[in-house]
Amino acid sequence: MNNFFKTPVIVAAIALVAAVPGISSVLHETAIRDARALTSGSTTTIKGTVTVPSGAFVSSTYDQGFAIQDKTGGIYISTQTNHRLKLGDTAEVTGVLGQSYGLTIVTPSSGRSVLIKRDDDKVTPQRIATGRVNEASEGRLVIIRGVVSQAVASDLPYGYKFYVNDGSGEIQVFISTSCNLDLSQMSLGQTVSITGFSGQFDTTYEVQPRIQKDIKVLRSDCDDN
């Protein structure tokens, strides 16, 4: 444990911040974009709006993590504690930067390292070409539109996957089993709009939907408005 958390006065201050929503952090906050650029193993404090609720991806990540995003970027928070965060909540996290199968993550330093403000903020997904979902977009909420170029295939027990291409390059769409999304209407050749977390597994970049309305089958140009 970091010696910072052994100091009684600081621990008391952190407890106060956790108890009173809206109080600013004891620690200096770093923009998520800057935190992502730190050396692996660095300790950082970041704050953002929740874009992936607690435990949504548990079937593929084996944790109760969540994702947050600020104006500069987004990142996945890997934790075994279910903080019951929902979309739109605000979370401030102090933790250690690392990698999990290619995905940049922050692991909270302790049980008191996640400060929560129940909220209903909206994060607008970034419209992005399928061929441009990569390291630059990783961690953000994105939206892609294109044709299903490879049909839904099982990757159980982790989830299901299919591929979408708008002409700029194919991208994998991965749906964690734990999200409980209905894919019965998805078929090869359909035009779709997919919103989700811009993630990575090993060398594969992917878009990960979170809720049912993240997946839309488009029947006209107006459907995507």
**CA 113 to chain CA centroid, nearest Å:** 18
Q: How far apart are CA 33 and CA 141, in angstroms?
A: 14
Residue range 129-154: mean pLDDT, rounded: 98
Is the link from the previous residue into 53 a cis peptide, with omega within 30 of 0?
no
The model carries a pTM of 0.85
Furthest CA-CA distance within the chain: 61
Q: What is the mean pLDDT of the chain?
A: 89
Q: What confidence tier does 141 reach under pLDDT thresholds 50, 70, 90?
A: very high
Structural domains in the chain, CATH included, are 3-117 (2.40.50.200), 126-224 (2.40.50.140)
Could you report the per-residue pLDDT of 33-49, keeping only the tens digit for each?
999 999 999 999 999 99
Output the CA–CA distances (angstroms, integers) from residue 4 to 11, 23, 41, 96, 183, in the order listed.
8, 19, 16, 14, 47
Which residue intervals of 79-139 are DSSP H helices?
none
